[in-house]
Amino acid sequence: MDFYIDCNATCPYSPQVKSFLGSDLFWANSSSTHTPGQKTAKMIREVKAYLSETFKLPGHTLLFNSGSTEAINFFADGYLNRPSHQDEYTFLYSAIDHSAIEETIISLKKKYPHKKITSHLLEDLTGSEEFTSPPLLFWTYINNETGKINPLQEALTLKDKYNAFIAVDATQLPGRKKDLALLSELDGYFFSAHKFGGLKGVGFAFLHSSHTSSFPTHIFGSKAQKTFRGGTQNSDGIYSCKLALQDIEHVDFDFLKQQRNEIEEILKTKYGVTQIIHHNLERAVNTTLFVHPSEIAQNFLVTLDMKSIYAGTGAACQSGLNRPSRILQALHFSPEEQRRAIRFSYNPFWRKNEFNELKKCL
């Protein structure tokens, strides 16, 4: 039996998605007027309604895209180009956010040299700052490497303090935390389907309806998706979002947390692990990030691989890259500890048998 426990990087297809891939897919263009096309269009409308209800965001416009990296670009570029007549544009983000956020900001500074664009790490703010124009603040709900949950209420506090536009990376929410309801007061959220059992290359973003008239077109080419994003929609990928989330409705999160805790006890007793990152904080029920007491991560991953156990190291969005963890570096772990950090992120669709077999192999 194989044990894939790198689900924060990519989660295997959910049961319904696997079944769907062997059926008659939604291959027709949703803008076509014929029966197959209208069948696809109806499905997309139903998925939109389902997602809005699932995340409790009836006052937000939902946009389908290729995933979270595109959504980061959508929010950042849109913030810079909406007709706000700002003299200065400020980005706020954390050192432990998705690396695409910092890379996007750096690229946009080069793309728009005539705009006054500044950026600040949240960790460097003193609380006394005053910005001449509303900043765009990125907020990671659940960290993909440590699993730490950063409450949305804290983001709302920062929104009120700085009059900020808040864009929340909620990519790691489904399958890691039972309650999927989001705060309607925050401006934007984004997700990637492959993180919770859907297809790759598809995701979605919520934009508060108060901003829909001011955000510019992101991808030109058609009048699809309220003019925000042209091009043919990935109908099968869109449907997989709903199927995977429906499967997550049946996940026993208490069971998942119990299994995670039992595996962590094995790591402590058999492997001498003493450092389980954020073990005393609220974190994703499927995530264990630990520092091996003696072996560097790459060596230990090879040992696990020989047992058909496939784990990860580093940020989940860059899983497997042999480089120090920027997130652990921001958390002040030493370079040596960073090299020995391994992440187990368990499949939320596993049952008791899979977990028992994994524990035997460990």
Show the domains of the chain with their CATH numbers: 3-12+251-361 (3.90.1150.10), 16-248 (3.40.640.10)
For tokens 């001498």, the residue is 272
Spell out the per-residue pLDDT of the chain, length 362, in tens.
Answer: 889 999 999 999 999 999 988 877 777 667 677 888 888 889 999 999 999 999 999 999 999 999 999 999 999 999 998 877 678 999 999 999 999 999 999 999 999 999 999 999 999 999 889 998 999 999 999 999 999 999 999 999 999 999 999 999 999 999 999 999 999 999 999 999 999 999 999 999 999 999 888 887 777 666 666 667 767 788 999 999 999 999 999 999 999 999 999 999 999 999 999 999 999 999 999 999 999 999 999 999 999 999 999 999 875 555 444 566 788 998 999 999 999 999 999 999 999 999 999 999 99
Percent of residues in the chain assigned helix, strand, coil, to nearest 5: 40, 15, 45
Q: Give the number of residues written for the chain.
A: 362
pTM attached to this predicted model? 0.93
Residues 83 and 85: their CA atoms lie apart, in Å, by 6
Question: Residue with structure tokens 């934007």?
Answer: 188
H helix intervals, 55-169: 68-81, 99-111, 152-162
Counts of helices then strands in the chain (DSSP H, E): 11, 12
What's the CA gap between 88 and 209, in Å, rounded? 24
Q: Give phi and psi for 60, each to the nearest 5.
A: -115, 150
Q: Do residues 115 and 84 touch, judged by C-beta distance below 8 A?
A: no
Q: Are strands 165-169 and 309-310 parallel, antiparallel or unpaired?
A: unpaired
Cα 209 to Cα 207: distance, rounded to the nearest angstrom: 6
Q: What is the pLDDT of residue 222?
A: 63
Which H, E and C letters describe 273-338, residue by residue? CCEECCCCCCECCCEEEEECCCCCHHHHHHHHHHCCEECECCCHHHCCCCCCCHHHHHCCCCHHHH
Amino acid identity, position 185 = E
3-state secondary structure at position 167:
strand
Contact 313, 298 (CB under 8 A): yes
What burial letters (b/e) apply to 154-181, b meaning 16+ CB within 10 Å?
A: ebeebbeebebbbbbbbbbbbbbbeebe
Up-side HSE of residue 67: CA atoms within 13 Å toward CB? Answer: 17
Tokens at residue 120, please? 């600040």
| Tokens matching residue 123 | 């960790």
Closest CA to 343 of 307, 316, 305: 316
Q: Output phi, psi for 178, to 5 deg.
A: -65, -45
Beta bridge partners of 117: 89
Rounded-to-integer distance, Cα 348 and Cα 178, Å: 11
Rounded Cα distance between 316 and 329, Å, is 15
Q: Are 52 and 58 in contact (CB under 8 A)?
A: yes
Beta strands per DSSP E along the chain: 3-4, 60-65, 89-93, 117-121, 136-140, 165-169, 188-192, 203-208, 275-276, 287-291, 309-310, 341-345
